[in-house]
Amino acid sequence: MTSAAAPVVTRERPVALLDRADRDSLLATCRRALDQARRSQRLVLVSWAKPLTLADPVAIWSRARRGTPRSFLWQSAWDRGSVVAIGSARDLRGRGENRVASVRDGWQALTRDLVTGGTAVAELPTGEGPLAIGGFAFSPENAPEKGRLPDALMWVPALQIRGTVPDQAAADRPGPAELRLNAVLLHDSDPEQVANGLLHLADLCLPPEAAAEARKLAYADERTHTSAELPDADRWKGLVRRATGRIRDGDFEKVVLARELRVTASSPFDVPTAVNRLRSAYPGTTVFAVDHEEYTFLGATPEYLVRVNRRAVHALGLAGTAPRGLTPEQDAALALELAGSAKIQHEHDVVVQMLRDALRDSCVNVASDAEPSVVKLANVQHLSTKVRGELAADSTAGILDFVDRLHPTPALGGHPRKESLSWLSDNEGLDRSWYAGVVGWADGSGQGQFAVTIRSALVDGPSASLYAGCGIVADSDPEAEYAESCAKLRPMMSALGIE
């Protein structure tokens, strides 16, 4: 584990939202953490909480992210929970095949001697206490020196706000939320210095004018751009043909083949505007943004890998895609064709069976929907099946255990896993980075949510990499698969103003 650099903020001095009693309480909590660190001779995580009201999480994130190389935004479609996080109190990293387990072990060790203070807010969506936030790349082969984002990066934010995603009709109406300030103390730490640093960060990130300022975001986009397909269309269709040949030869049953649209613009992309466009155009998706140094990984995904709420475990099989129709009648006909396709149904069943098998290792009463439903998004429609279970009485499995067990599902890589991933490594020729990986959060009790990072892009100033993938089976048609991948690129193209 390594610590991230403290946030550097150079803006004007704002009006403080924490009063003298809050400051005294935070300092007292830091002093208790120092005592614990001296007794245990281990580093100690301190977490102090205060209730507040919050109208729009994106407004706070849009302003606060300017002064730090590390931030996180999460708006869940599944429990309406939101997370805004600024800075890092502690990084949790992993490499290679054991990367998720390394992060899990580091998080468990960090929460062992947790010292809390202030006033927590109970009536919020899933999760409690300090969170570990971040994600994992698609492949453990994406080492930091090769990729643009780390292979595995989760961290404990210095400033964390949990709340509820507002309804669009009540976007200006404040709701209950919880501010949480987190830090790590060693046996020789100065508790006053730690407390003052956290107070300074809160004062800078949470001025009263923040929400009003963020609502002034302009949607005008007058930049020009050039783009390149990686690989180009003909070569990608050739890869589809090569994959179907290997499938017919019996080497594997399915492989998910991805492609990248790399865009260079005349000026930096406006990330907050892209986020606002995504949540307006795709209200049924989970919107996320991860700022790490000069990069931002963002998207709006309809798919979760796994969610744990108390003892309930939820996974989602989302596989099989069709376009939307131009008329209600055409749309309904395409949905019927999607649900009735034997090819797509088989592809979907492979994913659902894998999810059921993975949950049975730690859960009882594992069940799934009797029939898949059709999930309609603005640009495409998918087959979807929910899988659920309840943690067994003797199970200690938490959200990161399930991430380790499930990722990547056949909907992201292929089936069987080993053979399909090996073929991708040898043939795809694409650095997926965190595309088709997972992003989310975990709390200290094992609860959490992790989304599958489809409909996503990696932005670096005026450069952006947009990704899409298609599940390839024996009778896949290269032209149809290419058209499907183009449809899947449209959400991020529209969000970034590329069309």
Q: Which of 178, 260, 303, 481 is catalytic?
A: 303
CB atoms closer than 10 angstroms to residue 299: 30
312, 390 contact by CB (below 8 A): yes
Question: Got the DSSP string for 141-176?
Answer: T--TTTSSS-SEEEEE-SEEEEEEPPPGGGTTS-EE
As beta bridge partners, residue 121 has none
CB atoms closer than 10 angstroms to residue 396: 9
Tokens of 287: 């919107």
Whether cis (ω within 30° of 0) applies to the bond prior to 268 is no
CB atoms closer than 10 angstroms to residue 145: 4
Q: What does residue 443 show for φ and ψ, rounded to 5 degrees?
A: -105, 180
How many angstroms separate the CA atoms of 274 and 290, rounded?
13
Position of tokens 């475990």? 313
Position of tokens 């943690």? 391
Q: What does residue 453 show for φ and ψ, rounded to 5 degrees?
A: -90, 65
Helix (H, G, I), strand (E, B) or coil at 408: coil
Position of tokens 């997926």? 432
Alpha helices in 173-232 (DSSP H): 191-205, 210-214
Whether 303 sits among the annotated catalytic residues: the reply is: yes
How many angstroms separate the CA atoms of 155 and 90, rounded?
6
Whether 254 sits among the annotated catalytic residues: the reply is: yes
Q: Which of 50, 254, 260, 481 is catalytic?
A: 254
Residues belonging to the active site? 254, 303
